[in-house]
Amino acid sequence: MATSFLMHEKIWFDKFKYDDAEKRYYEQKNGPAASPSCQQSVSSTSAAGPAGDQSELVTRIATLEAENQNLRCVVTDLQLAISRLENRLSLLEKSSTSYHPSPPPPTQHVTPMKKVEPLTHLSRKVELPSALSTRKAETSAAVAADEDDDDIDLFGSDEEEEDQEAARVREERLKQYAEKKSKKPGLIAKSSILLDVKPWDDETDMAKMEECVRSVQMDGLVWGASKLVPVGYGINKLQIQCVVEDDKVGTDILEEEITKFEDYVQSVDIAAFNKI
């Protein structure tokens, strides 16, 4: 009874054989299972069927090919960059070998300058026309005296009187020239200065400040025109012109004398300085 019942019952008694065969197939294809988890995954894949495994392999192969293609592109770009760098290095090496430094310019030999005599010697050698005429007269007289050696005048009174007269005339003319030269005025160096005199505030008496500035008197100092120039906030500064002799009056001394009036003057500046 039991055997007849089992014969007619639809039961897969050889299922374990097929499972073992499928397991061996996938182990040969993908490698042996390393752990129970892998065995579970193999069993799941075996349950999924061969169609799912093939689709997964196809996708993996496609992704690997895409990555391979990207790597090839990167490699080609790197090769192009390296070739460009090599070309640039070769050009630089060629230019460095072709460059030759220019030779230094030839030195010029300068001839030594002649020594110039000082002006004092030249001034000593200058003589007046009158002195030259007298000198010529004396030389001519001496030559005539040498020629007339036979006619000897023992007393020589006339020649001595003429020599004394010529010497007297020469001395008088030299004296007149020296006096005229001493009376001639020399060149005096002067400067025109424009000063900016600034007060403390708008309540400062500008007329009194100008009076104090003009009270500064020195030898070689001449005050000129003046005017008030607005600075800002109701404050004016005094612009005053003066002419000074450079050898007698200095700008530092002039500023010190003006800034002594501390009640009115805050500071003094030079707005313009011109040589005359």
Q: Which residues of 127-159 are buried (b: 16+ CB within 10 A; e: fewer)?
A: eeeebeebeeeeeeeeeeeeeeeeeeeeeeeee
> What SS3 class is residue 270?
strand
Question: Is 209:199 a contact under the CB 8 Å cutoff?
Answer: yes
Q: Is the pTM of this model over 0.85?
A: no
**CA–CA dist 172, 170 (Å, integer):** 5
**CA–CA dist 52, 248 (Å, integer):** 117
| Six-digit token string for 159 | 């020649």
Mean predicted lDDT score pLDDT of the chain: 77
Element spanning 26, H or E: helix 15-30
- Burial-class residue 47 by CB neighbours within 10 Å (0-12, 13-18, 19+): exposed
**CA–CA dist 23, 42 (Å, integer):** 8
pLDDT for 260 beyond 60:
yes
**CA–CA dist 213, 263 (Å, integer):** 12
Q: Which residues contact 214 (CB under 8 A, 6 or more apart)?
A: 223, 240
Hey, which residues does 268 pair with through a beta bridge? 197
Q: Say how many C-beta atoms besides its own lie within 10 A of residue 213's C-beta.
A: 22
The pairing of strands 221-232 and 265-275 is unpaired
How high is the pLDDT of residue 99?
59
Question: Is 236:206 a contact under the CB 8 Å cutoff?
Answer: yes
Residue 66 φ/ψ region, left for φ over 0, alpha for ψ in the -120 to 50 degree band, beta for the rest: alpha
- Short-list 195, 190, 170, 205, CA closest to 243: 190
Q: Which residues contact 45 (CB under 8 A, 6 or more apart)?
A: 26, 52, 53
How high is the pLDDT of residue 244?
93
Query: pLDDT tens digits, residue range 31-53?
Result: 655 555 545 554 555 544 556 67
Question: Is 264:204 a contact under the CB 8 Å cutoff?
Answer: yes
Query: pLDDT tens digits, residue range 159-213?
Result: 666 788 888 888 898 888 888 777 766 677 899 999 999 999 989 999 999 999 9
Query: pLDDT tens digits, residue range 133-151?
Result: 566 666 666 655 555 554 5
At residue 125 the predicted structure's pLDDT band, cuts being 50, 70 and 90, is very low
**CA–CA dist 64, 72 (Å, integer):** 12
Average pLDDT of the residues in 59-76 = 92
Q: For residue 243, give the DSSP letter.
A: E
At residue 106 the predicted structure's pLDDT band, cuts being 50, 70 and 90, is low
Give Cα separations from 269 to 41, 59, 273 (angstroms).
100, 92, 11
Cα 54 to the center of its chain, rounded Å: 78
How many CA atoms does the CB half-sphere of 201 hold within 13 Å? 1
Domains of the chain and CATH, by start: 190-275 (3.30.70.60)
**CA–CA dist 176, 202 (Å, integer):** 63
